[in-house]
Amino acid sequence: MFGAPIQDETPPAIGTDEPDDSDDSDDSDDKLVAAARAAAKLARQVTIPLGQVGLSLPQYRVLAFLDEGDAAPSDLAGRLSVSRPSITALMDGLVTRDLVERQPDPDDGRRVSHHLTEDGRSTLRSADRAVGERLVAIGTHVHAGDSTRLIASLARFGEAIRAARAAGTT
């Protein structure tokens, strides 16, 4: 559902070889609304297992971003779409828990860079497993109990987000 483009599955109108396009936009709009609402509901489903490993969703997002490489607070604030003071408070909590470490920027002594500690990587792995298990459990309710396609589609959506970020459109 999520990995393929939205396509009309309406059979051709009786007496024609062409599909009936009269409801295409309504069907497409309905699917977009359903996808938007599923994304909102999915966020809640992710927060449940994160709470079990002691992380909030914003903390998990920071750890996941830092797993891709060190980052300055301003870069993280932009990627998370939060204010600089908000990212500072978030980072202070992660530093206090020894999940993230601040280091002076080697090129600019006025700036700092953040990176994951070993405890941060371990916590991120635990969070990834917990969230993954939750997604698989939810996904077993479709496709005759096989969540593989659903999980693969969600992973592809993650690829699309990274590609859009690289293209500067997010």
- State residue 142's pLDDT score: 87
Is pLDDT of 128 > 60?
yes
pTM: 0.77
* Highest-confidence segment of 71-75, 99-103, 140-144, 166-170: 99-103
Q: Residue 92: which pLDDT band, with cuts at 50, 70 and 90?
A: very high
Contact 64, 93 (CB under 8 A): no
Confidence of residue 21 (pLDDT cuts 50, 70, 90): low
| Whole-number pLDDT of residue 104 | 87
CATH number of 26-139: 1.10.10.10
Q: Which is it for the CA torsion 118, 119, 124, 129, positive or negative?
A: positive
Every domain of the chain and the residues it spans: 26-139
Quick one: tokens of 130? Answer: 């917990």
Helix (H) or strand (E) holding 90: helix 84-96
pLDDT at 46: 95
Question: What would the mean pLDDT of 74-86 be, rounded to a whole number?
Answer: 88
In whole angstroms, what is the distance from residue 36 CA to residue 56 CA?
22
∠ Cα 119 87 47 (to 5°): 65
Burial 150-163 (b: 16+ CB within 10 A, else e): beeebeeeeeeeee
* Average pLDDT rounded to a whole number, residues 96-119: 91
**Most confident residue range from 15-29, 101-115, 124-138, 151-165:** 124-138
3-class DSSP assignment, residue 70:
coil
